Structure 1
Amino acid sequence: MHIEVLGTLAVSVNGISVTPTAPKARQVLALLAVRADQVVPVDSLVEELWDTDPPRSARTTIQTYVLHLRELITTALESSAEGEKRTAKDVLMTLPGGYLLHSGDGTSDVHEFERLAGLGYRAMDAGDFAGAARYLCEALTLWSGPALVDIQAGKQLETETRRLEETRLCALDQRIEAELRLGQHRSLLAELTVLVRRYPTHETLCGQYMLALHRSGRRGEALDAYQRLRATLVRSMGLEPSAWLRKLQRSILLTGSDGGRAARDEHHGVPLSTVC
């Protein structure tokens, strides 16, 4: 089985798609896929499909969707030239309280992303910034768009997609941190310009943008970036920037316009990346 959720939903068995076209059946498969190899309670499926107002037939309807998914899986299993010993019930299992999508020896883009990101984080901890950047870049290329972008999400999937987005952002800011450590500030400017507009209250990205600007000799723009973030935080949340970002701003204020040594030293003393 091959599972992709980091973008559009795609689930296949023996290279044959088992992704249905009906919206609610797709929701069921999406929740099973994003929690592959874990039991998904029936109550979670009910909430995903109907929130707090399920019909009386909710559980029966879910059984119907599961039967439809098993029909697709059966067709895919029967296509195997070697003859599959598994049945659809071995792949989409009924267990006490819910259902489990068994990936077997298959692949999952989420699992691969987590594996590569983990290697990247360990490389960062070891001071291997080139290795960290390489692993984290490879992990991020697995994303083709927002998670489950083609699925009409209910509460359960909204929670899962938010969780996945946080893991993506964590890997992203660690990759940028690694590349800053490697002195790639100028090549990061275009990407960071887009990111700080997309995430206007994300302090880590703002700090990285400030540092990249300052090291590129654009001290005034770095300070402007701080003021924009501060204004956004105060207006939208009633909060001031955190202590480490204020410290970085003060460091830039106290240095010249050449992106000099003081700001570089300040960077190594301030955690520009969130704890992932």
Structure 2
Amino acid sequence: MREAEEPCLEITLLKGISVRAAGEPVRLATQQLHLVFALLAGHGEGSAYPVSDDRLLELVWGDPGKRSSMHTAMSRLRRPFGPHRIAHDAAFGGGYTFRVHRGERVDLWAWRGILDTCTRMYHSDPYAAVIVASDALKMCDLTALRSLPSTPAMDTVVEGIVNDYLTTAARLAEVQLAVGDHDAVTAALPPLVRRYGDHEHLRGLLMSALYRSGRPDQALDLYDEVAAQRAARGRRPSAALSLLRHRILNGDPTLLQVTPPPRPAADKAVLAAGGDPRMSTDRMEEGVAAKNPDDPATFTTASDRAGVVRMCALLPEVPRMIEESAEFAELFARKAAAELGVSRFLSLSAPSPLTLHRVARLACTTGAHVVYAHREPSLVRHHRRLLPIEQGVEVVEGTIRDPRSLLAEPAVRDLFGLDKPFDEREPVAILDRNDINRTPRRYDMAELYGELMASLPARSVLGLVAVTEDGMAPLARAQIEATYRNDPHADGIVHRSHTELQQCVPDGMELLPPGIDEVHRYLPSVRSTSRRNDPWRHYALIAVKR
């Protein structure tokens, strides 16, 4: 657990070693930077295990006789980080641990996580894997690794990173060739082939891409180059590379034949609904819960799914937050039905990942009427197609930013009973887990919700789930904002403080216990769990009209 006085750290190892504390650079001497790298990269992913004294000596000094120098250097490294960050365990031969807390980032660990996920995607979701792998390669600068101490142990660590990089580059090129994007291969691989001339698989991939691009002479030059290098050492190119040369020399037409794999059903669903194939944070939220791109119910593109991988690698809390938000929606529906007798629901979000109408029907003995409203037309069209044609479930286009237009929708008008005298209308439960986080601060949220509530009788309910910046780590904020900036259709994400969320509640409504609190506090399954060190949190509230 992070000590109260410890600032949040961001540690970069893959593009030169640097440390930032609460967004500000930490000044470290060269040897201190090398020690940070050794402590965080010397034993693999995670910070649960110490790096032994002997291992540190091997990595940084390459001399077992420098034990006294090592302890002195580690003592000096504690000064800029505080006494709790770096711990020495005298048991089992000693060892040092650099403590990295929840919400802090080590780019090497995130990178390894992305590569692991990408490995599972190459066959199951190749179009998304191409985007993920391309972004992962941009996270690492192999040249920067040359600044590390040249000890046998450190060389082994660096070699492992380089091998991961080259393996990813090769797998990426394989998939790009499989989907017919040989131009991307001819653009990306030449520097790697020049630098790592003995990596024959990369060379062969580049030769294939050049041949497909109508440049067979350049492809053959690549073979002649490595053949000359090998001949000088009394060796020959591999049989696989020699066979590829033979096929190119003979103009083998099968090398030009490409049958790209079909786009997953999820991508087709977006296009069929008229959606933009570029990244959408609205669809990304669905994509966190919907894992199978071949499921026709899934509504994401390759860009969305790649965005999910990146965000979850940088912010592992995201899936849990979405699950807890969905669990709160279920609790809200049951509470409104069982305790307040509400059977009508307006959800300001798409039906997935939670089908609120199913929960409402289980909770309402007299039947439930549910309307979903979302601002994105293609999402609305998609979910209209998916939802069964049944009475009492409808999806409309609308947003809290324009309550008058929302009330003018026939389905909402019927839900609210606007054609009936006020004293004959039934209470409605309004749930907003989406719009509130996308509506800029220039809008008066209490006024917008109040306009809806003014049409409803007593016992109507408002439930809100809002992401908050209270206690947010600067790094988490930057990562989230960067993700939403990449969405061409989003205004960004709005974080609301506890006070700001209080101001979203219209006059005449009473907060129900526990009031405005973190979402998990509402949920029996995780109510006692501490979230104090989470980098990103969200509040919830339930208010009833009196």
TM-score, structure 1 as length reference? 0.78
Deviation by residue 1:141-188 (Cα, 9 ceiling, x = unmatched): 111443544444433322211111111111111112221222121343
Letter in 2 for 1:24: Q
What residue is the counterpart of 1:113 in the other structure?
Answer: 111
In the alignment, structure 1 residue 26 sits paired with structure 2 residue 33: yes
What residue is the counterpart of 2:10 in the other structure?
Answer: 2
In the alignment, structure 1 residue 193 sits paired with structure 2 residue 190: yes
Q: Secondary structure at the match of 1:156?
A: helix
Alpha carbons 2:60, 2:149 under 8 Å: kept: no
Letter in 2 for 1:229: V
Alpha carbons 1:186, 1:216 under 8 Å: kept: yes
What residue is the counterpart of 1:240 in the other structure?
Answer: 236
What residue is the counterpart of 1:167 in the other structure?
Answer: 164
Distance 1:150 1:197, change over 3 A: closer
Alpha carbons 1:8, 1:145 under 8 Å: kept: no
Residue 20 of structure 1, CA deviation: 1.8
What value does the CA root-mean-square deviation take over the aligned residues? 2.6
Alpha carbons 1:31, 1:156 under 8 Å: kept: no
Find 1:226's aligned residue among 219, 223, 228.
223
Inter-partner Cα distance in structure 2 for 1:9 and 1:71: 18
In the alignment, structure 1 residue 136 sits paired with structure 2 residue 128: no
Inter-partner Cα distance in structure 2 for 1:221 and 1:246: 15
Inter-partner Cα distance in structure 2 for 1:148 and 1:189: 25
Letter in 1 for 2:255: A
Structure 2 spans left out of the alignment, 5+ residues: 1-8, 261-546
Distance 1:19 1:100, change over 3 A: farther
What residue is the counterpart of 1:79 in the other structure?
Answer: none
In the alignment, structure 1 residue 255 sits paired with structure 2 residue 247: no
Give 1 or 2: higher helix fraction.
Answer: 1
Worse-matched range after superposition: 218-227 or 128-137: 218-227
Q: Secondary structure at the match of 1:40?
A: coil
Deviation by residue 1:38-79 (Cα, 9 ceiling, x = unmatched): 32111122233442473xxx32322221221211112xxxxx
In the alignment, structure 1 residue 213 sits paired with structure 2 residue 207: no
Q: Secondary structure at the match of 2:140?
A: coil
Alpha carbons 2:13, 2:108 under 8 Å: kept: yes
Alpha carbons 2:178, 2:259 under 8 Å: kept: no
What residue is the counterpart of 2:54 in the other structure?
Answer: 43
In the alignment, structure 1 residue 179 sits paired with structure 2 residue 176: yes
Inter-partner Cα distance in structure 2 for 1:221 and 1:154: 38
Letter in 2 for 1:115: G
Alpha carbons 2:39, 2:98 under 8 Å: kept: yes
Inter-partner Cα distance in structure 2 for 1:265 and 1:211: 11
Find 2:19's aligned residue among 2, 8, 11.
11
Residue 267 of structure 1, CA deviation: 11
Alpha carbons 2:14, 2:144 under 8 Å: kept: yes
Structure 1 spans left out of the alignment, 5+ residues: 75-87, 269-276
Letter in 2 for 1:4: T
In the alignment, structure 1 residue 94 sits paired with structure 2 residue 88: yes
Inter-partner Cα distance in structure 2 for 1:129 and 1:70: 45
Worse-matched range after superposition: 187-196 or 197-206: 187-196
Q: Secondary structure at the match of 2:15?
A: coil
TM-score, structure 2 as length reference? 0.41
Alpha carbons 1:4, 1:108 under 8 Å: kept: yes
Distance 1:169 1:153, change over 3 A: same
Distance 1:189 1:49, change over 3 A: closer
Distance 1:214 1:49, change over 3 A: closer
Q: Secondary structure at the match of 2:156?
A: helix
Inter-partner Cα distance in structure 1 for 2:214 and 2:200: 21
Alpha carbons 1:27, 1:153 under 8 Å: kept: no
Inter-partner Cα distance in structure 2 for 1:170 and 1:185: 18
Alpha carbons 2:12, 2:108 under 8 Å: kept: yes
Letter in 1 for 2:133: L
Higher relative contact order (CA 8 A, sep 6+): 1
Deviation by residue 1:204-227 (Cα, 9 ceiling, x = unmatched): 111111111111122232222212
Distance 1:34 1:242, change over 3 A: same
Distance 1:147 1:160, change over 3 A: farther
Distance 1:188 1:244, change over 3 A: same
Deviation by residue 1:253-276 (Cα, 9 ceiling, x = unmatched): 3326xxx3x1146999xxxxxxxx
Q: Secondary structure at the match of 2:96?
A: strand
Inter-partner Cα distance in structure 1 for 2:258 and 2:224: 19
Residue 8 of structure 1, CA deviation: 0.8
How many correspondences in the alignment? 244
What percent identity do the matched residue pairs reach?
26
Letter in 2 for 1:255: G
Distance 1:103 1:145, change over 3 A: same
Inter-partner Cα distance in structure 1 for 2:165 and 2:19: 21
Alpha carbons 2:58, 2:154 under 8 Å: kept: no
Letter in 2 for 1:45: L
What residue is the counterpart of 1:78 in the other structure?
Answer: none
